[in-house]
Amino acid sequence: MVKTTIILEDALYRQLVDESVREYGSTRKLSLLINSKLKGESKNTGRKIHIKPIKLGRRITEKEIEETIGEGWTEGTKWRA
């Protein structure tokens, strides 16, 4: 570990402070937060699954799902037509 001083833009600093307070309850963990952000880490890694499956009310095939995903692109590029 190296101790150094960095100059942050005001808005970024406020964002970090807010996040640190929200995540750790104080601003004392700013270094931990910055290290974690630079490494692209996230505390949400799927270990605890919060997603609650629901019923659509009809059977849906994989083909339909794939086609619907593909439609997103078509919709987004309609301007070309």
Partner 1 sequence: MESLIDTSVLVDYILLDSEFHQRAETGIKKIERGFLPSVVVEELAYVLDRLKLSKEMVNEKIEEVLDTYGVIGITSANLQTACKMVMKENSISFKRFNDKLILAVAKERSMQLFTFDRDLIKECEANGVRIFQE
Nearer to partner 1, 28 or 70 (CB): 70
Contact between 22 and partner 1 by CB under 8 A: the answer reads no
Q: Binding to partner 1 (CB under 8 A): which residues in 52-81? A: 52-62, 65-66, 68-73, 75
Instruction: State both tokens at 14.
Output: 């406020």
Burial 29-52 (b: 16+ CB within 10 A, else e): bbeebeeeeeeeeeeeeeeeeeee
Residues in binding contact with partner 1, number by CB under 8 A: 32
Distance of CA 72 to the CA centre of its chain: 21
For partner 1, the binding residues (CB under 8 A) are 40-62, 65-66, 68-73, 75
